[in-house]
Amino acid sequence: MTNRICSTARLFIKQSVLRVFTAGLLSLCTLPLLAYGSEFTWVSGPLNHLESWQDSEGHTPDSFEMDSQVFTISDPQNEEAIEADNDWMLSGADTRLIIDTDEDLVFAEETVFTLDGITVEFTENAGGDLVLKGDMAIVNGVEWVYDDAGDVWSFDYRDDGDQALMSDGTSYLLVYNFRSQKDDGSFDLISLHPEEEEVTVLRTLNNFRTRYREDALFSDRGNRIIIGDDVRIIGEHDSYLFTGTIEHRVFDGNSDYEEVEADLNNLIIVARNDGNPRFRNNEEYTQNIVIKGDFTVDMYTEGDIEFNDVRLEVRGDVRMSHTRPAGTDGDSEIDLDESEFIVGGDFTLVLSKKEADGDENIDVDDAHITIGGNLYVYVEQNGEFDLDDALIRVVEGHAVFEASENAIIDFDNGMLIVNGDLSISADHSSEIDFDDSHIHVSGDFSVHFEPGITIDADEFTLRYYGPNDQNIDLSSLMVLHNLEIYKPEGHVALKNNIIASSILFQLGEDASFDDEGNTMQILDLIAMEGSQSLYSLSGTIVLAERTEEEAEKSISFNNNLVASEDEDGVIRFDYKQLGMNAVSFHLFSELPMGETPAEPIATFNLDERNAEASAEVFFENDSPTLTFRQNTSGSGPVEISNLVWYLPGEERDDDDDEVTTDSQVDPELPTEASLNQNYPNPFNPTTVISFEIPQTQQVTLEVYDVNGRLVETLVNEQRSPGSHQVSWDAGHLSSGLYLYKLQAGSTMLTRTMMLVK
């Protein structure tokens, strides 16, 4: 086959040299004739014979390679076949070949058909097959002219034998359909300048269909094929060698990947107008397609691109961009419904819509997507990404989500697993919905939200896992449902205050956690498994008031740490009542397994405002999970601090001062000014702010937004020493983070609070 291709290339070069010499000689002899141009019509005989052509006066052409000639192939007079029995080259400046027949054009084996810098025109009578049994070369910018794509000839060859289609990169062979079938022999797409990057050798305005089996081989030789409609590549896997690019331009209606049994290399899909590419055969899905290189989808169409039930493996990078035109009523999307998508490299999604319509740009309902590289999701200008019950797993790389200009990122019931870092950012006009979703991250998880953004984190579970060191760096605008830290080894650092319904820690012996002095505000429970030596708790834990909804929940937890001796364990902590409501909370030494809750080992109560107490509790479990949880709905918020514990048999510091369990301390006049956390927090729309001052003095209490603008002055007067509280109604304000500042004499104190509507 290689010798065959080399012979073809040498023959083409030889013809080119001869053409240049002949054209120069004839230009001296026929200059007066060329001034008026010549028009010839095929009358009979082989196309490559000069005597088969005549002008209106019966003259034959002197050459097929002169300037300003017109050659017209019309319907034969006597049912004669239109064919060439040897090489045929058409060339010349301003030379045209007019196809005015729907009969087939047949070129014999061992021949070369060359179009060199001419224009090929198809009339409305055209539309037959180009039966190319030999080779063809397209060079020097051949132009194609047609009014209707259906009038362009189709390529159809179903016999065995070797063929080559060659291009110098300035043009390509244009056909309506490409159909080829072989059991023996080869078809090669060849660049005449192999040192350059891939060139477009073949373009079909409609279908590309091949069937190669046994000893046949189709090879694109690293070059490009442009296809306009359906794709069918069937036969034996080893009968195809794709190392270049298939560019699929879908501009009108459905275009199906009916059967693709060969591995493709690079695939580009461009969809416009109402183009609707589909990976299915008629109404049947379940394709299994392998792309060895990169996969690119560029959609600005009223139609969809459908991968339903498809198994698609891309070993390179994937980039999908989808822009939905205005007025489509949400009918255009990338549809990966119930598909299996395996990406070896990076996966990039860019989504937008010309108008907000309440429908997602991409549907991945129940899909499984595995990414070997990085994941980038950019949602812009009204765009919407919806995870929709799907599983996306980023095996090694990181993931980035960005929302801007009224965009929506909805993790809706889906699961995202990232073994690297995860970053989510959004501007104030966008919406992030974590509702009922699960995100597992083995690297750092950072969130950057502008004030004013809409966030829904109801029933959202965030899990940190794996052996890497990790940072929890979440926006103060974000309220988590479940935060889980499952670490066999590695360090986790809390970089700012967080609010969560529940926090569960499961740390292995080589893991550690540091709250770095920050506050963990808990709406339901906090559970810590393992030795206290694994935890650095210099901040505080605040149990917020428990609602009836939270009271109905139960949680199970697996324990795996074993103590070294049989001595009782001990847990010590201080706790303080916040606000006016009485406090009642439980301490468990293990979490309930199943539906029946375990009995608490102790219950703690405070019923006087600002009461404080300390506790020391002993337990016998060798592998406990120590859990704090509010006792009943209506129990007021409580702050837990100075928390330490020792497992049975662990070495402990017994020099601590004796503590009193569940004692109450009478409130005294404060020795310094203090500003307490508002309660409830988050709130909607009212909350209570309390503060203490040691003496009678001028006091101002002001509320600011995150941009530093004064929102409201709550207090501006002299106050007596002791405790004070102010109720604030923020019903007229939008959701977001607010700051409140106390100025008492020379003391200035500031805290934050969150309004969630």
pLDDT above 80: residue 559: no
pLDDT above 90: residue 677: no
Q: Which amino acid is at 596?
A: T
> CATH number for the domain including 549?
2.60.120
253 close to 231: Cβ distance less than 8 angstroms: no
Tell me what pLDDT residue 103 has: 94
- When pLDDT is cut at 50, 70 and 90, the band that residue 325 belongs to is very high
**Is 624 found in the same domain as 716?**
no
**Is 648 found in the same domain as 511?**
yes
- When pLDDT is cut at 50, 70 and 90, the band that residue 246 belongs to is very high
Tell me what pLDDT residue 469 has: 93
Please list the residues that pair with 748 across neighbouring strands.
743
CB-based burial of residue 677 (10 Å sphere; 0-12 exposed, 13-18 middle, 19+ buried)? Answer: buried
Does 352 fall in a domain?
Answer: no
DSSP state of 671: S
Q: What's the CA gap between 63 and 84, in Å, rounded? A: 16
Residues above pLDDT 70, as percent of the chain: 87
Rounded to 5 degrees, φ, ψ at 281 are: -110, 110
DSSP state of 60: P
Is residue 316 helix, strand or coil? coil
Specify the residue for token string 């102790």. 602
460 close to 482: Cβ distance less than 8 angstroms: yes
DSSP state of 679: B
Tell me what pLDDT residue 234 has: 93
The full DSSP string for 454-473 is: EEE-TT-EEEEESSS-EEEE
Residues near 37 by Cβ (< 8 Å), separated by ≥ 6?
68, 69, 70, 94
Q: In what order do the strands lie in the sheet with 69-74?
A: 53-54, 38-42, 69-74, 96-100, 119-122, 143-145
**Is 128 found in the same domain as 11?**
yes
What sign does the dihedral 600-604-605-609 (CA atoms) show? Answer: negative
Measured CA to CA in angstroms, residue 268 lies from 63, 118, 227, 228, 271 at distances of 42, 29, 10, 12, 10
pLDDT above 50: residue 657: no
Tell me what pLDDT residue 584 has: 84
**Is 86 found in the same domain as 28?**
yes
Q: What's the CA gap between 235 and 181, in Å, rounded? A: 9
Residues near 677 by Cβ (< 8 Å), separated by ≥ 6?
519, 542, 578, 637, 751, 753
Q: What's the CA gap between 363 and 354, in Å, rounded? A: 18
| Domain final position from 612, 643, 667 | 667
Average pLDDT of 58-72?
96
| Domain final position from 633, 667, 701 | 667
Specify the residue for token string 């039966």. 131
Q: Which amino acid is at 615?
A: A
Does 260 fall in a domain?
Answer: no
What sign does the dihedral 672-678-679-685 (CA atoms) show? Answer: positive
CB-based burial of residue 662 (10 Å sphere; 0-12 exposed, 13-18 middle, 19+ buried)? Answer: middle
Tell me what pLDDT residue 679 has: 82
Measured CA to CA in angstroms, residue 304 lies from 271, 309, 347, 387 at distances of 9, 15, 19, 17
Question: Of 68-82, 107-121, 473-487, 508-522, which range is least confident?
Answer: 473-487
Domain that holds residue 713: 674-755
More reliable by pLDDT, 226 or 456: 226
More reliable by pLDDT, 632 or 121: 121
Average pLDDT of 544-561?
44
pLDDT above 60: residue 460: yes
Does 428 fall in a domain?
Answer: no
Average pLDDT of 388-413?
94
DSSP state of 532: G
Tell me what pLDDT residue 13 has: 45
Average pLDDT of 344-356?
96
Tell me what pLDDT residue 83 has: 95
- When pLDDT is cut at 50, 70 and 90, the band that residue 285 belongs to is low
Tell me what pLDDT residue 595 has: 36
Does 194 fall in a domain?
Answer: yes
Largest distance between two CA atoms of the chain? 125
Tell me what pLDDT residue 284 has: 64
**Is 120 found in the same domain as 135?**
yes
Rg of the chain on CA atoms, in Å? 38
| Residue 752: closest CA among 425, 519, 483 | 519
**Is 200 found in the same domain as 88?**
yes
Measured CA to CA in angstroms, residue 726 lies from 608, 690, 694, 721 at distances of 18, 6, 18, 15
- When pLDDT is cut at 50, 70 and 90, the band that residue 423 belongs to is very high
**Is 234 found in the same domain as 97?**
yes
| Residue 61: closest CA among 70, 52, 71, 50 | 50
**Is 143 found in the same domain as 51?**
yes
SS (H, E, C) 721-751: CEEEEEEEECCCCCCEEEEEEEEECCEEEEE
Tell me what pLDDT residue 155 has: 95
E strand or H helix at 548: helix 548-551
| Domain final position from 240, 263, 293 | 240
**Is 687 found in the same domain as 638?**
no
Does 711 fall in a domain?
Answer: yes
Q: What's the CA gap between 551 and 650, in Å, rounded? A: 34
157 close to 133: Cβ distance less than 8 angstroms: yes
Is residue 258 helix, strand or coil? strand
Per the structure, the count of domains in the chain is 3
pLDDT above 50: residue 315: yes
Average pLDDT of 316-339?
90
Assign residue 558 a region (left: φ > 0; alpha: ψ between -120 and 50; beta: otherwise): beta
Average pLDDT of 83-104?
96
B/e letters for 703-733, b = 16+ CB within 10 Å, e = fewer, are bbbeeeeebeebbeeebeeeebeeebebeee
> What pLDDT digit, counting tens, does each position of 175-210 carry?
999 999 999 999 999 999 878 789 999 999 999 999
Q: What's the CA gap between 570 and 518, in Å, rounded? A: 24
Tell me what pLDDT residue 660 has: 36
Measured CA to CA in angstroms, residue 278 lies from 197, 227, 231, 235, 305 at distances of 29, 14, 10, 21, 6
Q: What's the CA gap between 127 and 123, in Å, rounded? A: 9
Counts of helices then strands in the chain (DSSP H, E): 3, 66
pLDDT above 50: residue 478: yes
Q: Is the preceding peptide bond at 682 cis, omega within 30 degrees of 0? A: yes
pLDDT above 90: residue 477: no
Query: Which tokens is 642 given?
Result: 């100075």
pLDDT above 70: residue 59: yes
| Residue 341: closest CA among 366, 377, 376 | 366
**Is 739 found in the same domain as 621?**
no
More reliable by pLDDT, 347 or 436: 347
Q: Which amino acid is at 514?
A: D
pLDDT above 50: residue 30: no
Average pLDDT of 596-620?
78
pLDDT above 50: residue 662: no
pLDDT above 90: residue 556: no
Q: What's the CA gap between 414 and 365, in Å, rounded? A: 9
**Is 700 found in the same domain as 560?**
no
pLDDT above 80: residue 757: no
Does 715 fall in a domain?
Answer: yes
Measured CA to CA in angstroms, residue 536 lies from 338, 485, 557, 753 at distances of 44, 14, 22, 25
> What pLDDT digit, counting tens, does each position of 700-709 carry?
999 988 667 8
Highest mean pLDDT range out of 307-321, 519-533, 584-598, 614-628?
A: 307-321
Average pLDDT of 54-74?
96
Query: In whole numbers, what is the pLDDT of the chain averaged over residues?
Result: 85
pLDDT above 90: residue 267: yes
Tell me what pLDDT residue 665 has: 34
Does 403 fall in a domain?
Answer: no
Does 467 fall in a domain?
Answer: no
Tell me what pLDDT residue 546 has: 59
Residues near 350 by Cβ (< 8 Å), separated by ≥ 6?
319, 320, 321, 322, 378, 380
**Is 20 found in the same domain as 2?**
yes
Question: Of 390-404, 506-520, 659-673, which range is least confident?
Answer: 659-673
Tell me what pLDDT residue 611 has: 81
- When pLDDT is cut at 50, 70 and 90, the band that residue 685 belongs to is confident
Tell me what pLDDT residue 193 has: 86
Tell me what pLDDT residue 114 has: 97
331 close to 302: Cβ distance less than 8 angstroms: yes
> CATH number for the domain including 696?
2.60.40.1930
